Structure 1
Amino acid sequence: MHTIWKGSISFGLVNIPIKLHAATEDKDVKLRNLHKDCKSPIKYEKVCPACDVEIKNEDIVKAYEYTKGKFVVLDEADLENLKRENEDKAVEIIDFVKMEQIDPIFYDRSYYMSPGDGGGKAYSLLRKALEESEKVGLAKIIIRSKEQLAVIRVYENTLVMETIHYPDEVRSAADVPNVPAENKVTKKEIDTAILLIDQLTTNFEPEKYTDDYRTALLELIEAKRTGKEVVTPAEKEPVSNVTDLMAALQASIDRTKPKKTATRKKRAATKTKKEA
């Protein structure tokens, strides 16, 4: 597993050399843009609109636009010094909190943490302490020139670092338009909705959820590549045009019943067959 960051993490006077490894991967199917006539890949060139010339990487500088058309130019040396000054520091766990206090909206990326040379015992100590205290650590780390707030927790006997957004990076829910201020629903509607939720409730088994669009896209690509006939998938059942809330809830409940009834009938038939 590729190492993307090396350093150390500490809590109190305990210092743990660690390595970070990406815990997730992007499985999106990458499509290229081609010229329709000759099927050549399209090039994207860096061009200065004022000079009307193509620009090389060495001719590009970074800048911050503080107002429309006004920039503060930042030297590469300044950015490197700032980056080095922060990256050389050990990552320190600054707080320990209950995980349920952190809303999922804050979470960003996940990284596995493995112990560096000589860090096995301290790694095990932090892992065990987090498990028994039922808490997670909050730390700061710089990854790819950006300071990140991060949660350190245990996942399947491995320490995981989850980068999380700062509060000012999460937009206010109060700014979402057209959210009803009051729940104008009846007790019967609530009870029926809860009944529907109960009927659809199950244990979370991540392996049963798949990316159907990606699978269909890859099958389409393979069919075109090998010259096979492209099969159009069966159309999904059209969405019901029921506008009455209670009617929609009841219809949803009715749709979930046949499966369970059929299963019970199948079990009964099997039982009768065995008895015979």
Structure 2
Amino acid sequence: MRAIWKGAVAFGLVNVPVKVYSATEDHDISLHQVHDKDGGRIRYQRRCEICGEVVEYKNIDKAYDDGERTVVLTSEDLASLPVEKSREIEVVEFVPSEQIDPIMFDRAYYLEPDSKSTKAYVLLRRTLEETDRTAIVKFSLRQKSRLAALRVRGDVLMVQTLLWQDEVREANFPALDEKVRISAKEKEMSAALVESFSSDFDPENFKDDYQEQLRTLIEAKLEKGEALDTDETFGETEEGEGGNVLDLMEALRRSVEKNREKKTGEGAGKKTSKASKKGA
């Protein structure tokens, strides 16, 4: 990993020098656009509407237009902002971790100690763990002022940027104002359905089906070209019961039965697999 930012976490008079790394990465297959007629690649050009020239990134500034006037802001102008010059992750407050609504979480970054002594780093990490608190911090990154949650993941401190309050939309759905009667039997069956799906979350149990199928499609098309038969490649798609309108209780009952049968089949498959390994 390559550090994208260097600075220090500051709370009170304590400074913790850190390097910042992106904690996540995109695994999507990269695709580009082509002309359907001849396969020519579609490219976008940064063309000036006044002189008609194609402009390089180094010659592009930013501007604000209020409808009547335009203010051009150069990279030097933006770099002169006091908050942009700061290399400090300022702790504003420590809050109970459960008070942060997950809808506010945005990008995640790991913090690596950037000092020969890791004592202050470890002290801050242990304090957050033992008090079950999250630090609300402010810092500047890539020409934006960020609000973030500084928290612990394993042995590492990380900051997860937060959306500002005015960036989170309020949900107002009139249908939810209507009174709905739920019977005891419906709640019981719904709870049974939840129980039939209950498990411990393990991210390794899940995969990105779309990206896997896209890779399969690309490899098949490289091999067979336009003679590719997608039904042969992927098999026929199963149709569900989406066209049938089911009573809520009947839908719950069928769902519970279907999931129980699925789990029973999976359990039998695992036992057979273990038996085969022992026999071998």
Equivalent position amino acid for 1:226 in 2: E
214, 218, 221: which one aligns with 2:215: 218
Kindly indicate whether residue 192 of structure 2 is the aligned counterpart of residue 195 of structure 1. yes
Counterpart of 2:79? 80
Structure 1: give runs of 5+ residues left out of the alignment.
Answer: 270-276
Deviation at 1:52, TM superposition (A): 6.6
- Counterpart pick for 2:261 among 240, 254, 258: 258
Which residue is equivalent to 2:276?
none
Contact 1:106–1:170 at 8 Å: present in 2 too?
yes
Q: CA deviation at 1:149?
A: 0.5
* Pair 1:10–1:232, CA change in 2 (3 A): same
**CA pair 79-258 structure 1, distance change in 2 beyond 3 A:** same
SS of the aligned residue for 1:215 comes to: helix
For 1:180, what is the secondary structure of its paired residue? helix
- Equivalent pairs: percent with the same residue? 37
Describe the shift of the 1:255–1:55 C-alpha distance in structure 2 as closer, same or farther (beyond 3 A).
same
1:186 aligns with 2:182: yes
RMSD of aligned Cα (Å): 2.6
Give the alignment's TM-score, normalised by structure 1: 0.86
Offset, 1:38: 3.5
Amino acid at match of 1:42: I
Per mean C-alpha deviation after superposition, the further-off stretch among 190-199 and 97-106 is 190-199
Specify which of 148, 151, 156 is matched with residue 150 of structure 1.
148
1:172 lines up with 2:175 in the alignment: no
- 1:235 matched to 2:234: no
Counterpart of 2:252 in structure 1: which amino acid? L
Structure 2 distance, partners of 1:63, 1:112, is 33
Distance 1:45 1:268, change over 3 A: closer
One-letter identity of the residue aligned with 1:238: G
Bigger Cα displacement from structure 2, 113-122 vs 127-136: 113-122
1:126 lines up with 2:124 in the alignment: yes
Check the 8 A contact 2:84/2:141 in 1, yes or no.
Answer: no
Contact 1:17–1:119 (8 Å) recurs in 2: no
Residues 16, 119 of structure 1: 8 Å contact kept? no
Distance 2:237 2:37 in 1: 33
Amino acid at match of 1:100: E
Structure 1 position 260, deviation (Å): 4.4
Deviation at 1:70, TM superposition (A): 4.8
What are structure 2's unaligned runs of at least 5 residues? 273-280
Q: CA deviation at 1:77?
A: 2.4
Answer yes or no: is the 8 Å Cα contact 2:79–2:85 preserved in 1.
Answer: no
1:41 deviates by: 1.6
Question: Take 1:105 and 1:125, find their aligned partners in 2: how far apart are those partners?
Answer: 29
Amino acid corresponding to residue 198 of structure 1 in structure 2: E
Paired residue for 2:160? 162
Q: Specify the SS of the correspondent of 1:28.
A: coil
Amino acid at match of 1:80: A
Q: What code does the residue aligned with 1:41 have?
A: R
Aligned length: 264
